[in-house]
């Protein structure tokens, strides 16, 4: 387990440029790439969530499903009659990712991400 800490610069995006002659100047660099998708922030919140350190509200349904609500979306865990465990995470934008865990007859476990 690692407790990640966000870096907090006094001068965000500021870089020191040293010329070949040894002269120093400073520049502020900003992205201007018109990204069509911003992407996931790599920060303390994201890294702590990867380790399971994230606040949630959990409910157990009468049908055996488990619903976990996070600030980033909802995780639904379903137990199928064949023994498979299906976990589906849906974020606020409607994107989903599913992990199916299968307990094989030879004692091995298979996991498929879709």
pLDDT per residue over 59-84, tens digit each?
999 999 999 999 889 999 999 999 99
Tell me the pLDDT of the chain averaged across its residues.
Answer: 93
Asked if residue 32 belongs to a domain, the reply is yes
Asked if residue 5 belongs to a domain, the reply is no
Asked if residue 1 belongs to a domain, the reply is no
How far is the C-alpha of 25 from the C-alpha of 16, rounded, in Å? 6
Asked if residue 9 belongs to a domain, the reply is no
Asked if residue 8 belongs to a domain, the reply is no
pLDDT value of position 74: 95
Asked if residue 59 belongs to a domain, the reply is yes
Asked if residue 101 belongs to a domain, the reply is yes
8-56: per-residue pLDDT in tens?
A: 999 999 999 999 999 999 999 998 999 998 888 899 999 998 898 999 9
Total number of domains in the chain? 1
């Amino acid at each position: 387990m690692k407790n990640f800490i966000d870096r907090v610069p006094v001068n965000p995006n500021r870089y020191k440029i040293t010329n070949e002659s040894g002269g120093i100047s400073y520049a502020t660099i900003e992205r201007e790439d018109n990204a069509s998708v911003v992407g996931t922030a790599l920060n303390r919140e994201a890294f702590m969530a990867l380790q399971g350190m994230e606040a949630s509200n959990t409910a157990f349904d009468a049908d055996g499903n488990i619903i976990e609500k996070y600030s980033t979306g909802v995780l639904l865990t379903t137990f199928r009659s064949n023994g498979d465990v299906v976990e589906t995470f849906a974020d606020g934008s409607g994107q989903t990712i599913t992990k199916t865990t299968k307990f094989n007859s030879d004692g091995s476990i298979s996991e498929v991400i879709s």
